[in-house]
Amino acid sequence: MLAAREEATAFFSRELAPGCEGEVLDQATRLWEHLDQIKHHMATALARIEANGQLLGEGGQRDLATWMRHSFAISATQANEMATVGRTAMRGTFPDTTRALEEGELSFGEAAAVVAGVERAVEKRNSTDNPDPVLFAAKMEHGLLAFKQERPNTSVAGLGRAAHQMGARLDPNRVERDHEAAHAQRGATLSRTFGGSFLFQAWGSAADALRLEAVLESYANPHDTDDGLSRAQRDYDGFMNAVGRAQTHQECEKPSSPAALINILIPATTLAGCEGQDPATTQDGRVVPTSAVRELLGESVVRHLMVEHRTGAVLDVGHEYRIATPQIKVAAFVGHTTCAWQHGCDVPLKWTQADHIVEWWQGGRTSVENIQPLCSTHNRLKHRWGLRRDKRMWAGRQRGRSPSPAGPIPAPRPPRE
C-alpha cells in the first residue's frame, strides 16, 4: 500500500502538460475502482470480527459502523454503507450484488445503495401479499441489478429512486399505505418568538409536498443572480406571495390561470386500477399514490402520450420548431428523472434544458427522439466538446488543404443513462 501510495502521489503531483487532463481523469477513475475493491475486502474482514464477538474486546465498540466512524474519522453515512456491504458479503445474503462488486460491475456506493434499497423494501412490504421475505428480496435485487446493467451510467441516487419505484410495483399497496399514514399524521405549527419573528412548520404526505413545492416555485419572485437571496429566502417569498394571492381571490369562482404546475406520468392501466403496473411518478422519479392523482384530475390538464409497448418509445410528436414545444419536451423527457449526461448526473429533471442530441445546425430535428434533458453545465460542456471535435476535423481547411480523410463529422450517439 505504501508503494502504491507513493506511485499515485507522484503521478498526481507532477505538472500537467497541455492535453493530458483526460488521462488524469481516467487514472483517477481507475484508482477509485481499486479503492472500492480494497474497501470491499476490508469491510468483509471487519464484519467477521464483529460477528465472532471480538470487536468489543479488541476495538472497544460493539457495532462495526460505530467503530469505523471513530477509527476512520468518516461520517455516519459512510460508516453505515461500509458496514452494510461488509455484513452482506460475510453472510452471503446478496450473492449477485457481491459478485458484481467483486467483478467491478458495481462501485462500493452502488452496492450499498442496492442493499439498502432492497432491505428497505423488504421491511415495508405487505407480509400478506408477499409472505416470503427472501423471495421478495431476490426479486428486488435481480431487478435493480438488471436496471443498472441496462443503464450503466445511472448514479447512486438513481438506484435509490429505482428501488423505490420497483418496491412500489412489487407491493402496489405500500404507496397508498404510506400516503394514508402520512396524511393521518399531518400537522402544522405556527410559533411566535419574543424577538418579533415566527417559525412555521408543516408535515404531511409526499403528495401534498408535491403541491407545496409547485406552489413555492410558481409564486417565487423572478430569479435574479445579483439579488443575493438564498434558496430559503426565495421559498419564503414564494410562500407569502401565494398567501397574498389566496387572500385577494377568495371570491373568485375560477382562477384566471393555473396556480401551480405538477407534471405526473401515470399509465392508463394504473389509473384504471390494474395491479402490477408501473406506478405514477413525477418528472424527478418520485412515486405518487394513484389516489392522489385521481384527486388532482378534476383540476388538472391531461395529456395523452401514446408509447410503444415493448420499448416505451413515445410515438411521433412532430419536429417543425427549433425550440422544443412543451408537448415535445414532455414526451422526450419520459423515462428520465435527472440530467441525461452520458457520464451520469444527478441534477433533477425540472432544472434541465431541452438539448438537441444531433445539433440543429448539423441537421438534427426538433423531435422527441432527438431531444434530451441536460443541465446547463453539461449542455455547455457538450457544445464545447463538439466545437473542439469540429476544430480537429477541419484543421488546415483555411490553408487550402482538404478535410481529414476520416470523412464527414459523424452524428453523435444519444447518451446512455
The DSSP bridge partners found for residue 199 are 191
One DSSP character per residue, 185-220 reads T-EEEEEE-TTS-EEEEEE--HHHHHHHHHHHHHSS
Q: Please report, in angstroms and rounded to a whole number, the separation of the first and last CA atoms in the chain.
A: 35
Average pLDDT over residues 19-29: 87
Q: At what angle do helices 133-150 and 95-102 cross, to 10 degrees?
A: 30
Q: What is the pLDDT of residues 174-198, one digit of tens each?
A: 888 888 888 899 999 999 888 778 9
Name, in order, each residue with C-beta under 8 angstroms of 318's C-beta and a sequence gap of 6 or more. 325, 327, 328, 367
Contacts 24+ apart (CB under 8 A), 44-50: 44/86, 44/89, 44/90, 45/86, 46/83, 46/86, 47/83, 47/86, 47/87, 47/89, 47/90, 48/90, 50/83, 50/87
Is 51 in a helix, a strand, or coil? Answer: helix
CA dihedral 174, 176, 177, 183 (to 10 degrees): 140
pTM above the 0.75 mark?
no
Q: Using CA atoms, how far apart are residues 114 and 106, in angstroms rounded to an integer?
A: 10
Q: What is the pLDDT of residues 107-159, one digit of tens each?
A: 899 999 999 999 999 998 888 888 999 999 999 999 999 999 888 888 888 89
Q: Where are the domains of the chain?
A: 23-180, 303-417
Alpha helices by DSSP H, listed for 171-320, are 173-184, 206-218, 231-248, 268-271, 290-297
Average pLDDT over residues 270-290: 79
CA distance to 23, 42, 62, 317, 341, per residue, from 27 (Å): 6, 23, 38, 43, 21
Average pLDDT over residues 8-34: 87
CA distance to 46, 146, 372, 401, per residue, from 387 (Å): 50, 36, 19, 20
